[in-house]
Every structure is written in C-alpha cells, then in structure tokens.
Amino acid sequence: MPIRGHAGPADYRDERRGRQGPVFPVPVPWEAVRVRVSIEHRVPDAMAHEFLALYRAAFAPLDVLAAARQSLHDDEFLRAMQEPRMLKFVGWDGDRPAGMGFLALDLHLVPWISPAFYATRFPDHHQRSAIYYIGVVLVHPDDQGGPWYQALAEAMALKAWVDQAMVVFDCCAYNVEQFPLPATLQAIGLGLFEELEMTELDYQRYYSLWARNIHVDLTEHIWLGGGRVDLARSELEESVEVALDLTEQRVPDHQLIDLTEADQPAGRDLRP
C-alpha cells in the first residue's frame, strides 16, 4: 500500500497489449518497465516553473477550441505547487522529473467547478472528504511516447482506491470527441481493476444568437419593467440601434404595453 509521500513503482507487461479499448495517448510499452512515481505535497520552485511552461503549452490550443476556461492561471498553478491538498504525482527518470499529475483532495482548489454539486451527488464520499479531482497529467516532451502518462494515471488511480475515494474530472468536447480522454482514462483503469464504472455527471453547452431581417414595426415603443427601449431604424435594413432610457415609471415584470399618443408622458415625443 502506498504511504503518504511515496507511491511504489508500477509494472507494465506486454500481455496488456491484448486488451481491447481505445488507443492510449502514448504507446503501451511492449517490454516490462519499472518506473518510480512519488507523491509530493510541495515541489521546488524551479520544478514548479518548469512544469508551468509545459502546462501552459499543453493547454494553449484549448483557448480557441473550448468556450470555457480549461486551465489554472499562472499564479493559481504556482500556488497549487505549494498546496499540500493538491497532490503532485511526479514520475522520475533517475533524478530528473519526466512527468507530473495533479490530484486535488479538496474540490475548492478547482476554481471552475461547484463543490456543492459533487457533495450532493456523492454525500457519503463527501462526508469522508473522499472526492478527488484529477487536474492534469503532464509529460515532458523529451519523454513522450514512453510509459509516463500511463504510470502517472495509474498512480493517481491507486491512491484513490487506497482511500476509497470517488474520482472526478472534466474535459471539453474536443477532449471527448477528438482526443478521447474519458475513454483513455477508463481503459487505463480497467488495466488495474476488475470493474470500473464511469458516469457522465453533467454537461454545459454554449450557444450564439445572431438576428437578421427584423419583422416588427420599429415605430412602436415597448416598455419593459420601467425602462423604455427606444428602437431607431438604421440606414442598414438588417441593423438597429438600441438605447435604454430608464424612467421612474414601473410596470409588472414581463408585461408589454403598447403606448398610444394619450399614454405618452407629458413633454416627451416617443416617435422615432
């Protein structure tokens, strides 16, 4: 059983090549490999900045591929490197770090999720403070194509299993459809456990609205909750200018009122 501060080495054997499932992000080693993964509460500043550069390079493409924020800001990342509740799984090639994975033991360390959602969904695990969040698995460019991604993912899975914790993570649509991250993690887990249940908990979709060819009479004026929306026809048929003029007059929410000349406030001409 791994103890706090160190996780034992992992073995990779060629019989795993026969397992059916999605392709791993790195080739499964075809020889027995023995690697060392340690669990660190804090890492030296030099290592933190080295992996910050890798982290930023890894997530930069998602800035234009995903609508929502996908990564920690630089200051958040560096704080996480010194935060003992954010475990750092470091893969070592001799004395040199080859890869790093993050596992948050406290969901409040992840700025874009709602801890209350998970506490409600998994009350028993929440009561034991046993809901762990996978942040990322980073592999140094010089070591990609080796066992490190799988070794780090397995080390995090074993830590969660020892603690009987629920593991949660999120990813954008690109990392589901183009880079099958959930299926990859599931396949790695099935290399360790007889049963592994993965459930999609929630999703959020982003939409855009673009209006063309207005079909209402712009000479009419609409009052909304005490504010006059004054629509004035532009020179372009498919464009309007909107100005909001708040007044003291109030009407019930969501009620629309067409104003006639008799309804116009004294001294104010509502015609465009």
Q: What pairing do the DSSP bridges indicate for beta strands 86-93 and 240-246? A: unpaired
Sign of CA dihedral 25, 27, 32, 34: negative
Q: Print pLDDT tens along the chain (272 aa).
A: 222 222 223 333 333 333 333 333 444 443 456 789 999 999 999 999 998 988 888 888 888 887 888 888 899 999 999 999 999 999 998 888 888 999 999 999 998 889 999 999 999 999 999 999 998 888 888 887 788 888 999 999 999 999 999 999 988 887 778 778 888 888 888 888 988 899 988 887 878 788 888 776 655 555 555 555 555 545 444 444 555 555 544 444 444 445 455 444 444 444 44
CA dihedral 47, 50, 52, 57 (to 10 degrees): -150
CB 40 within 8 A of CB 122: no
Fold classification of 7-190 (topology level):
Aminopeptidase (3.40.630)
pTM over 0.75: no
Give the per-residue pLDDT at 227.
55
What are the domain boundaries of the chain? Answer: 7-190, 209-272
pLDDT in tens, 230-255: 555 454 444 445 555 555 444 444 44
CB 157 within 8 A of CB 167: yes
